[in-house]
Structure 1
Amino acid sequence: MLRNNAKLLTFILCFLILQTACSQNKPGKVKPAAERFSVYQPILKDKKIALVANQASLVGSDHLVDFLLSKKMNLTKIFSPEHGFRGNADAGEKVKDGIDPKTNLPIVSLYGKHKKPYPDDFKDVDMVVFDLQDVGVRFYTYLSTLHYMMEACTENKISLLVLDRPNPNAHYIDGPVLESDCKSFVGLHPVPIVYGMTIGEYALMINGEKWLKNGIQCQLTVIPCENWSRNSRYELSVKPSPNLPNYQSIQLYPSLCFFEGTVVSAGRGTDFPFQIYGHPKMREANFEFKPRSISGASRNPKFKGQICRGEDLRSINIDSFRLKKQLDLSFLLKAYSELKDSTEFFNPFFEKLAGTKLLRQQIIQGESENQIRKSWRENLDQFKLIRKKYLLYPENE
C-alpha cells in the first residue's frame, strides 16, 4: 500500500512539474504595439500628435483615438487612408476631409488627389503616430500611405512613430517583384506581392533602402508587437477594409486579387468577397452568384445584377491552403483558359497589380504555374537578402 501511494505521489509530482513547465513555456497573449502604452507613452509626452488611423486602430475594444485622449495625450488631428477613418468607403472611392463627430478632431483624407500630406497639414503637429492594420500584400494601399507620410514628415521635420501590428500573411514570401515601370499607388516599391513583413518592418525597409524621394530618410521609431511570431495563425478582430471580412478572405486575397485586373469578379458585391470568383460566361462551374450594390463595400460591382458562374472557395481548408506558403495561380489560369476565346480577359490594371508586364505574356503563351514561378526565383532571392536586414521578429523555423 505504501509503495503504491509513493508511486501515486511521484506521478502527481511529475505531472505538476510538467504542467508548470508547459505553462511557463506557453507564449503570452499577442499584443499589438498600440496596447503597449507604457512603452510609447514617454515618446508622446508633451507632443502635439496627429494620428494615421482607421476602424482597425484598436486598443482592446477601444479606438486608439479614444484611448489616447483618455490618457491625456494631446491629439490635434486624424489622417485617414483609403476607405476612410471609419472604414466604410468603397475601394477606390474618394474620401473627403471632415470632422470626427465623437471627438471633434479634424480628419484629413489621404486618398484621392491628396495622397501625400501638405505642409499646412502639419500645423500644430510635433509627431505623427501611424497605426494601420496591414495584410502583408503589396497592392494593399496602406503601404503607399505609409510611404507618403514618411516622405512628408521628413520634408517637414516631423518625427514618425509606427505602432506595429501582426501581419496575417507574414508566413511566406511569393510573387513577382515589382518593376519600376509598373509603379502606382497599388505598388511603389521593388517587393514581391507577398513580402513577409509587418508594417513596422516595412517602414524600416523604406527608410533603410532610401526609397523615399531623393533618398531622404525619416526620423522613424517603430514600437514592436509582443508575443507574436510569423508562424502564428493571427485572426483580426475587425475588418481591415470593407471587402476583407474574415480570415478566409485575407488568406485568399493575395491570390484572388489578380482578378481585379481581369473581366472576372472576385466576389465584390456579395457577402463573400475574395472567397469566390466567377463570370457570366463561365460554364464549367456548379456555383452561381449575383453581385449587388452594397453600401460601404461595393456600390457598383462588376456584373451587378447578373448571374455569374464560378468557384466557391469558402469550403476549402484554409489552414491547409496556408501551409502551402505560396500564391495559388491555379484560379487565374483556370479562368483564363475558359474565357480567353470569348472575352477580352485582361484590363490595363493587371500590370499594376502584378507589378510586371511579363505575367500577362506568360499566361497568354500558355506557360505552366511552375514555369511562371521559376521566373520569379532570382528576384525573390535578392529581395530576401534586403528584407533580412529589417526584421524585428524571428524568422520562421
Structure 2
Amino acid sequence: MRTGLDHFFSQYLELCKGKRVGLVTNMTGVNKGLTPTIDLFHNHPDIYVTALYGPEHGIRGSAKEGEKIDSFVDPYTNIPVFSLYGSTKKPTKEMLDPVDILFFDLQDIGARYYTFIYTMAYVMEACAEFGKQFVVLDRPNPINGTSIEGNLVGEDVRSFVGLYPLPNRHGMTVGEIALMYKHEFGINCEVTVIPMEGWERHMYYDETDLFWIPPSPNTTGMDMCILYPGTCLVEGTNLSEGRGTTRPFEYVGSPFIEGYKLAKRFNERQLPGVIARPISFVPTYQKHKDTVCEGVQLHVTDRKLIHSLATGLTLLETIADMYPNDFEFVQFGEKKTYMFDLLAGSKEVKTLVLNGETNRFLEEIKEQQEAFKKQREPYLLYK
C-alpha cells in the first residue's frame, strides 16, 4: 500500500509549484522506506519549505505528554519550527506569514482523546482565517476504519482531548476527519486530501506493510492502541495507567490494589476479547512514581471481539466497587475540573462508574453511534 505521502510524490507535486510550503509533522511523517517527510520536502528541487510546525511531543517526539514546547530552528534543515503545543495551539498570523500552503502529515491512533486531530482542526481554522491552502497526506487508522465505540462529546466538556462531537473510537482517517471538520463543523478552509492506495477499512496497522513508528512516547503498539479508547479514561483517576512502564494503557494499578483479587473479579465479568493478568510494577514517572503498584495487565485475546470502551469502564467500575474509600477521580486547575469528564465527553459517566451502571450507559449511547455513522458516511474515502 501507499500512504498519502507516497501518493503525493507520484501524482500531486504540482500543488507546490511556485508556493512557499509549510509542513505540520513529526517523526511519524515518513515514506515507505522510512525517509522523513521533512527531508523529502526539504531536499526536493521543486518544493520550497519555509516553515515547520510541531504538535504535542514535538517534531522529533522527545517531549512527554502535556509538556510545553518552544519554537526553535531545526538544526538539520535550518528551517524555523513553530510549536503548536506551547504558548498557542492555533497558528497565529505571524506563524503562517511565511507559507502559502500547509501540508499535514501525522500518524493518528484512532481515539478521540489523541490531540493530533485537534492540532489539525486549529491549523485548518487558521488557514481559513488567513487564506492558506491545507493539504492532508492521509495515513491509516491503526485500529481499523469500521469499529465505532462511545458517546459524542457534550458541548459542556469540550477541550483539547475532545474538541468536536466524535465518539471515543471514531473509525476514521485524518483525511476523512478533515473533510468532516470542513463540511459538518464549519471550518471553511480550502482542503485537499491526498488519499492512500491499498488501504481497506477493515485493516489494522499491522495488517499493512508499513513500519509502526510510535506517534508519542507511550503509543507502544497495536494492543496499546486497541485498548486506548477505554483505558485512556484511567488518566482521569488516581490510578496509574502504566505511564513510566513498558506497557502504558495495558497496565492499570495503584498502591492500594491487590492484583490477584482485581484480576479475578474482572475476569469474572467475562468480557469478550480480553483477559486480565495480575501484575506488580513501579512507574518511573508520573502517578505513583517510584512506588510499587499492583493491578492488572489487560491482554487482547481477540481484537475483533473486544469492546475497548466497555473494557475500560468495566475495569474502573470494578476497582471503584472493590476500593470505595481509595479510588477517586482527580481534579485540576482553579476551576477544579475533572479530567475524567473531558475524556469521557460527559459529566455523567463518573456517577455511572461509582454506581456500577456503565452497561446501561453503553446501551443508551448506541443511538449516538448510529447518528455518527450516518454523519460521517459522505466523507469516507475508502469504501
**Same topology, TM > 0.5:** yes
- CA offset at residue 335 of structure 1? 2.1
2:265 is aligned with 1:292? no
Could you tell me whether the CA contact under 8 Å between 1:172 and 1:326 is conserved in 2?
no
Q: CA deviation at 1:91?
A: 0.3
CA distance, structure 2, for counterparts of residue 260 and residue 366 of structure 1: 19
Which of 152, 157, 161 is the aligned partner of 1:177?
Answer: 152
Residue 363 of structure 2 corresponds to residue 374 of structure 1: yes
**CA deviation after TM superposition for structure 1 residue 246, in Å:** 1.4
Q: Distance in 1 between matches of 2:160 and 2:361?
A: 25
Structure 2 Cα separation of the partners of residues 68 and 83 of structure 1: 21
- 1:303-314 equivalences in 2 (<5 Å): 303-313=288-298
Q: Residue 290 of structure 1 aligns to which amino acid in structure 2? A: V
Task: Give deviations 1:11-61, integer Å, cap 9, x for gaps.
Answer: xxxxxxxxxxxxxxxxxxx21100111222111122110000001000121
Q: 1:311 to 1:122 in 2, by over 3 A?
A: same
The AA in structure 1 aligned to 2:242 is G
Question: Hey, what does 2:267 align to over in structure 1?
Answer: none
Query: What is the Cα deviation at residue 323 of structure 1?
Result: 3.5
Structure 2: which amino acid aligns with 1:375? E
Q: Which residue of 2 aligns with 1:389?
A: 378
Residue equivalent to 1:70: 43
Q: What amino acid does structure 1 have at the position aligned with 2:41?
A: L
Provide the C-alpha distance between the structure 2 equivalents of 1:325 and 1:231, rounded to a whole number of angstroms.
Answer: 16
- Write out per-residue CA displacement over residues 257-276 of structure 1, whole angstroms, 9 at most, x where no aligned residue: 00000111110011111121
Q: Which has the larger radius of gyration?
A: 1
Match of 1:344 in 2: 328
Which residue number corresponds to residue 164 of structure 1? 138
Moved more, 277-286 or 82-91: 277-286
Q: 1:77, 1:167 → 2: CA distance? A: 27
Which residue number in structure 2 is paired with residue 49 of structure 1? 21
Q: Residue 325 of structure 1: CA displacement?
A: 5.1
- Is 1:324–2:313 an aligned residue pair? no
1:98-177 matches, cutoff 5 A: 98-169=72-143, 170-177=145-152
Structure 1, 378-387 or 149-158: larger mean CA deviation? 378-387
- Extract unaligned runs of 5+ from structure 2: 263-277, 332-337
Give the C-alpha shift of residue 195 in structure 1: 0.9
Separation of aligned partners in 2, 1:164 and 1:239: 17
- AA in 2 matched with 1:383: F
Matched letter for residue 17 of structure 2: K
Relative to structure 1, the CA distance from residue 368 to residue 64 in structure 2 (aligned partners, 3 Å threshold; closer, same or farther) is closer
Mapped contact 2:300–2:306 kept (Cα < 8 A):
no
**How many residues align structurally?**
350
CA contact (8 A) 1:160 1:220 kept: yes
CA distance in 1 between counterparts of 2:157 and 2:330 reads 16
Matched residue type, 1:47? K
Counterpart of 1:40 in structure 2 is 12
Aligned to 1:219: 190
**8 A contact 1:200–1:222 mirrored in 2:** yes
Work out the CA distance in 2 between the residues paired with 1:316 and 1:179.
Answer: 30
**Contact persistence 1:87–1:241 (CA under 8 A):** yes
Change (3 A) 1:71 1:310: same
Alpha-carbon distance change, 155 to 188 in structure 1, aligned in 2, over 3 angstroms: same
CA contact (8 A) 1:52 1:132 kept: yes
- Aligned-pair distance for 1:255? 1.2
CA contact (8 A) 1:204 1:390 kept: yes
1:277 counterpart = 2:247: no
Note the 1:191-202 alignment, pairs <5 A: 191-202=166-177
TM-score under structure 2 length normalisation? 0.88
Residues 128 and 158 in structure 1, CA contact (< 8 A), matched pair in contact too: yes
Q: Which runs of 5+ in 1 are unaligned?
A: 1-29, 294-300
| Aligned sequence identity (%) | 38
Amino acid at match of 1:70: N
